[in-house]
Structure 1
């Protein structure tokens, strides 16, 4: 087990916010484990550490239940990016972001980046259903092909079979249009007192994803990681300018000086 002093600390923090059952945990599992999992509601919050090139990024998954609402501002403290997540088939889940969750971001960094993400796009968009193999790693895909005994199976190996609605070709009604998400993003900028002209445009910060099929999940996280890179570099420069003091080393130096002065 590595010593605590040698363990790497996260360079920046990314936080997921949103109502319960919008798929925040499933999005994280899809990105970090390359597969879809049926999950239970998150209690409080959960922490994931992602190695992104030479950098370490902590990703915080938060609970959407009302009883854990007060913890959200604590998890957002010092965040470099916040992913505000809703369900494209549930208009209320978008409304909840503005009514309950946006104020929790007051503790985030002043230059925090905000992404508005509509999950469960596979239920409304045929294009999102067809991305089932897109985010599966090549080695996983090879293993799946070797284990597959029935060529007509529709889903990729790590991803469970599609829902009956998806298999039958019946699409659910999309209650939140991309224009609605873009309008909400504009209200986020105004709430934060940011100039819309100098801020990142809505078309770059609004995503529709599917944790089930992997549609746009990589694009979401990789885009955010690229955008928080300046924060990472600035934080590292600040740490170099103000290095942590090693108390043990100071004690050793102090004792040596004391002995020298006594002789």
Structure 2
């Protein structure tokens, strides 16, 4: 295969899911453009192509609106990584990940990697120095509530009042994702590595999020390239260009 054609082909797919207004598109704009752009609600989905070293990763932004929900499983088909995004100031946005969006990932690859990402961290209080952090999420604690329970909101008027989702709630959700996928927790990426809190506004942890996932999907990239080189089938993508940004979307 000519190298120029290979350079345009995505090696793996990364999909970002979540309810409307959690800032999915803003996270992608912050990572791709290194700035926060004015956005509008994503209709259906939007595709971006990121060149990462010698590899090409397709980033799929999806709509969070209910009327586009059925398209989610199509976008997740063959995904090597899924970012499940919620708003740290909106409890329902975390609950929606489990109630509406997790089942859409049934079409993803069997070895798909899952990250739970709380956006809009700039609206919350600064981290508690007494907590133990690694990779933007507290170190795994011995027990968590088996079901999500909204925390009691503190007195309004302070940054603390904006937080509705605790970091340990995201960790508990990640553990339930592993159980839903029938994945062995001991051999899966640990929760402290796969839970992030980000801010598309300030850029906090955005690069860390995407580049951590890019590193983790490298085995999938190498496997897929090996299978492609060994397969005698014709790849239709070889006969048409792949745009680096087919559509533009917005925060949903």
Q: TM-score range by the shorter chain?
A: 0.7 to 0.9
Aligned with 1:183 (options 164, 172, 197): 172
Change (3 A) 1:246 1:220: closer
Query: What is the CA-CA distance between 1:6 and the residue it aligns to?
Result: 6.6
* Corresponding position of 2:46: 46
| Paired residue secondary structure (1:207) | strand
Unaligned runs of 5+ in 2: 128-156, 237-252
Q: Distance in 2 between matches of 1:7 and 1:218?
A: 23
Unaligned runs of 5+ in 1: 128-167, 248-263
Query: What is the CA-CA distance between 1:37 and the residue it aligns to?
Result: 1.6
Q: Does residue 169 of structure 2 align to residue 199 of structure 1?
A: no
Bigger relative contact order, structure 1 or 2 (CA pairs below 8 A, ≥6 apart): 2
| Paired residue secondary structure (2:61) | strand
* Corresponding position of 2:221: 232
* Corresponding position of 1:145: none
Q: Does residue 77 of structure 2 align to residue 77 of structure 1?
A: yes
* Corresponding position of 1:55: 55
* Corresponding position of 1:8: 8
Q: Distance in 2 between matches of 1:180 and 1:47?
A: 30
| Paired residue secondary structure (2:50) | strand
* Corresponding position of 2:64: 64
* Corresponding position of 1:214: 203
Q: Distance in 2 between matches of 1:85 and 1:246?
A: 33
Query: What is the CA-CA distance between 1:246 and the residue it aligns to?
Result: 9.2
Normalised to the residue count of structure 1, the TM-score between the two structures is 0.74
| Paired residue secondary structure (1:57) | strand
Query: What is the CA-CA distance between 1:209 and the residue it aligns to?
Result: 0.1
Aligned-residue Cα RMSD (Å) equals: 2.0
Contact kept, 8 Å, 1:19 with 1:96, in 2: the verdict is yes
Counterparts of 1:119-158 in structure 2, within 5 Å, are: 119-126=119-126
After superposition, the C-alpha distances for 1:209-245 in whole angstroms (9 at most, x for unaligned) are: 0000000000000000000000000001111111445
Q: Distance in 2 between matches of 1:173 and 1:246?
A: 49
* Corresponding position of 1:117: 117
| Paired residue secondary structure (1:118) | strand
Contact kept, 8 Å, 1:60 with 1:75, in 2: the verdict is yes
Normalised to the residue count of structure 2, the TM-score between the two structures is 0.77
Query: What is the CA-CA distance between 1:38 and the residue it aligns to?
Result: 2.6
**Structure number with larger C-alpha Rg:** 1
Change (3 A) 1:119 1:69: same
Query: What is the CA-CA distance between 1:40 and the residue it aligns to?
Result: 1.2
Greater percentage in helix: 1
Runs of 4+ in 1 over 6 A off after TM superposition: none
Contact kept, 8 Å, 1:123 with 1:172, in 2: the verdict is no
Q: Distance in 1 between matches of 2:85 and 2:226?
A: 32
